[in-house]
Structure 1
């Protein structure tokens, strides 16, 4: 699993962490997902009494305790010459700035399932469309609670654990929502944004049509239009009345309709069109057209 992780991350944003640990045993294979601006991974581990670990990452990360049973632990950060020791109270989230070491020590045997989210700050700043507060990015937050952020983190962890999961845009949205809460970003005054120019719209829609049977990342489309992701999303909707993912879904389903005109089995169509399975295709198709792919095919042949 870790080897596959390394291969798939080649040439893309990847967490850069140095760590050492003693008395900590990983109980399950690593579950992870990569989205536009972050990598998230879920770990399940058993810790002996006296176990300890040291971690330092080159990118900021959020550590989220999802489940814990047994003893407690101490966390210690060392920002510069000052040391801060966390209280032993049971909390759920810890934000660790880039380059800041973290030590953990376990006082009694326990098992823990936790989520790590590693943030690609440059990409997220571009997606949000504004510069991020350097002070907030460099200020640690130890074992804090936030109900909304915890709910978002659990949804992200569920996507990591689910072998199929939702469309990438679902996870992209969760990551941005969580990061906005984490950075405490307020709503900025609405700026009037125009629609895509004809050449931009043609270039983007042609690309979607040619690649509709695979997942298309918002970043790819924004780069084609030579715009930031945030500006592109608004400009595309202003030009078409649809969000980019909705246009993509429509193009994918039109291609499915073309395949249904032939004799390809529904299971093969679902695989070719990038759906998790036939049931997934059926749900999306019914929601769009009010009937199943099989019923649509029978109606086509009856005519």
Structure 2
């Protein structure tokens, strides 16, 4: 599904001169040119994280950004182009006086999509920590290039704008390169997704193709990478999850071994007993008795 940012606002004092929008993979950018009244501003809250970059303005004032209506708020030197990173769901109030026109960039992004593209989750602390009205000439230069590309009636290849936006997000959130993982290991998000799927569907036959598709890898690549990450083949992980379910039933219910075997996806009691002994080192019946004795 295409990423569609959602923002709720109550604003006044703005007249839109022009609006240009471009969408890339998990990113939507709006370039605004607005005229401001004697007072302009209001309340904003968005479902997804976003970056606000002021590119140009006329007048001596600057936006005052606040986290509550009564807060004094931060205001920067008018010679510096302010940048603000606003986490998802964070409420902001903005007051603007002494400004006639504003040109700014709003970059909204889907954190999950960006994490997948970076092959790792973005640090939640970075995602959830606001950074309001900071200065960074490098980010401003990237934003100016993005703005030029958005406004161009004959834009370049999508990879150009997409790469600029991804670079801006990485720079603004200071996403550092992680230490090298063991060769062929899965990225954390890939391992989590595969493990959750295996455990949720452990009672049925899971095709390797399903797991590979979940992680965006070929079947061979996924199989080798999963074992490099866990020390187990995918089917072994699934069997462990199935046996964990069986243990819960053995200790938490009075069901017969035949019933437990059927409920946890084994062909029959003999199959259940054979696999249980291979993996646990004893039969289900003896393991159940031992748990009762220990209890």
Normalised by the size of structure 1, how large is the TM-score?
A: 0.57
Matched with 1:183 is 173
Task: Give the drift of 1:193.
Answer: 6.0
Q: Which residue of structure 1 aligns with residue 291 of structure 2?
A: none
Is 1:67 aligned to 2:56, yes or no? yes
Match of 1:39 among 15, 28, 38: 28
Which residue does 2:154 correspond to in 1? Answer: 164
Pairing partner for 2:115 from 121, 125, 129: 125
Q: Which residue of 2 aligns with 1:76?
A: 65
Q: Distance in 1 between matches of 2:2 and 2:172?
A: 24
Q: What residue is the counterpart of 1:86 in the other structure? A: 74
Give deviations 1:111-140, integer Å, cap 9, x for gaps.
Answer: 011000001101000000111111111111
CA-based RMSD: 2.7
How far apart in 2 are the matches of 1:168 and 1:192? 33
> Structure 1 unaligned runs (5+)?
1-10, 195-222, 236-303
- Which sections of structure 2, spanning at least 5 residues, go unmatched? 185-209, 222-295
Structure 1 position 83, deviation (Å)? 4.9
Residues 43-72 of structure 1, C-alpha deviations (whole Å, 9 max, x = no match):
100111122222110101100111111131
* Alpha-carbon distance, 1:42 to partner: 0.3
- Count of aligned residue pairs for this structure pair: 192
- Give the Cα separation in 2 of the matches to 1:226 and 1:193: 20
**Conserved 8 A contact 1:77-1:100:** no
The answer on whether the counterparts of 1:20 and 1:54 sit within 8 Å (CA) in structure 2 is yes
Q: Is the 8 A contact 1:71 1:106 kept in 2?
A: no
Range 52-61 or range 185-194, more displaced = 185-194
- Residues 129, 228 of structure 1: 8 Å contact kept: no
Q: What secondary structure, in the 3-state scheme, does the structure 1 residue paired with 2:153 have?
A: coil
Q: Is this contact kept in 2: 1:18–1:56, CA < 8 A? A: yes
Equivalent residue number for residue 149 of structure 1? 139
- The answer to whether the Cα contact below 8 Å between 1:126 and 1:228 also exists between their aligned partners in 2 is no
Give the SS at the match of 2:9.
strand
Q: TM-score, normalised by structure 2?
A: 0.59
Question: Structure 2: how far apart are the matches of 1:68 and 1:192?
Answer: 49
